[in-house]
Every structure is written in structure tokens, then in C-alpha cells.
Structure 1
């Protein structure tokens, strides 16, 4: 069973210990950086991804509109030891349900163009590449 639970005083350190594979580390900031970002930007929502009682990942999104008049997903990661089990997909689906309750505006996620796993996941969930680029990341859009 996959659930999303808020990052709290009790679980933040475990979240910081989650890691990606060596090849994936180039694509994403460490979770500690994301947690600091959430501390200083109160519109961000940070969640731990749990498989039953075990924290296996982390995600974060913004509740307000940003570039492209959309809500942005900032991070989705599953610890390298728990990948390839469908956890990332289920967690993303749960997050999308929550974000969609905020309104009908588009949802955007950015990722490195070489991250083929992210590309497959987001494409399968209805995100479309409309050619938007921000720095080293491509931004794909899911419209209501």
C-alpha cells in the first residue's frame, strides 16, 4: 500500500537519507535541499512516500501558480532500493489527485531530458512536451 504523509519533525531525517542511483543523482537535488526550500517557501507541500510503514520516497509540489500559469511539481523521487515496483507511479497519481483539487489549471513537471524513466512515467500520465525549457530541464504539461 502506497501513501503520502507530510514531512514532520519525526521523519525529516529519514527523508534526507533516501538516495537515488549514481546515474540518477545528476538529475535531482538531494532531499535535504528540497526540505530547506519548503521551509522558506510556505506554498510548497512536501510529502514522504510510504510503502506500508516504510518511507521509500519523497515528493514536493507548489500550491500556487508559477511559470506557464501552472502548478509545478518540484520533486518526485523513490529510493534506489525501492525502484521498479510501481511506487513512483502510484505516488504521482496520489499527488495529482491532490493537486487537481486545487483547481483546473495545468500541472507542470520539469526533468532532465536524459532521464528516460521520468519521461516514460510522465508521458503515461498524460503530460505532454510542448517545447518548454527552463535551464537544463524540459517542462511537460498536463492539462485538465
Structure 2
């Protein structure tokens, strides 16, 4: 699959802000514009554009320092509604996990999501994340153990 990640930069940030989720998904996630702005004030957050061929079709972000549950957290994974269901999100997430595995002492990756977000649940389960019952506010947190 021709999916790749590229750090957000002056050439791709605006196009990432134009991507759209379905109405059902939009209630579970901040906009890409808010996420990109957040990285300017929290420099440990690492934002990436997701490319399918030469087209920007998604956005993702992770923290480069450990947080709760002594793991590195993935914060955003989104694929434009026109490109969903094609395996792009799964491949982009797999690539992000490879990138995160390079971080110091990376032994587990954590992601939080709303329990009603069935798409997120299916994606993370298919990539080997496990639910140990951890909850943070209205979100559940699942863990992928790297070692």
C-alpha cells in the first residue's frame, strides 16, 4: 500500500486542516487545526500528515515523552471520510507505531478513545492493543506492548 507519513510543515499543514471526518466520528475527535495549534504550545507532540500516493488523506499525532501508564501516547489518528475503509488508517497507524518504537525505552504505546467509537476499537484491536480496564474520564485507554 502506498501510504507514508510526513511531518507537518509549511507546505502540508493547511491541507490537513481541510480533511473531514464523518459526522459520527467528528464528535469523538478534535479538529486537525486544533491539534496542529496544540503542537505549537506542547512541543513534545509530533504531528504528521498521512499521504496516500501523493495526496494528503489523513493526520496523526503522538507524544514523544511518556505519560500516564508509563507509556507513549498516540493522540490523533484520522483519515478523511473519502478514504476510509481502504486500509489507509491501519497502515498509517502501523507506520506511526514503528516511529514511536524508536523513542527511548519504548515498551508500550497507549491510545485513548471513546468506548462508543467502534471504528477505533476495531482498528486498535487488529493492531494488537489490549484493554486492561484503564479509564481516563470518558475515554478508555488500550495498550500495545512492544517488549
TM bin (shorter chain): over 0.9
Distance 1:45 1:83 in 2: 23
Equivalent in 113, 117, 139 of residue 137 of structure 1: 139
Please show how residues 41-80 of structure 1 align to structure 2 within 5 Å. Answer: 41-80=42-81
C-alpha contact 1:49 1:58 (8 A) present in aligned 2: yes
Distance 1:27 1:64 in 2: 24
Number of equivalent positions: 144
C-alpha contact 1:69 1:105 (8 A) present in aligned 2: no
Question: 1:101 aligned to 2:102?
Answer: yes
- Match of 2:10, SS state, is coil
1:45-98 deviation digits (Å, cap 9, x = unpaired): 100000011000000000110011000000000000110000000000000001
Distance 1:134 1:18 in 2: 27
- Match of 2:128, SS state, is coil
C-alpha contact 2:71 2:106 (8 A) present in aligned 1: no
- Match of 2:132, SS state, is strand
TM-score (norm 2): 0.96
Distance 2:106 2:36 in 1: 27
Runs (4 or more) in structure 1 with deviation over 2 Å come to: none
Question: 1:120 aligned to 2:122?
Answer: yes
Q: Displacement of 1:104 after TM fit? A: 3.0
Q: Displacement of 1:11 after TM fit? A: 1.1
1:92-138 deviation digits (Å, cap 9, x = unpaired): 00000010111332100011101111101101111011111111111
TM-score (norm 1): 0.98
Unpaired stretches in structure 2, ≥5 consecutive residues: none
Question: 1:88 aligned to 2:107?
Answer: no
Unpaired stretches in structure 1, ≥5 consecutive residues: none
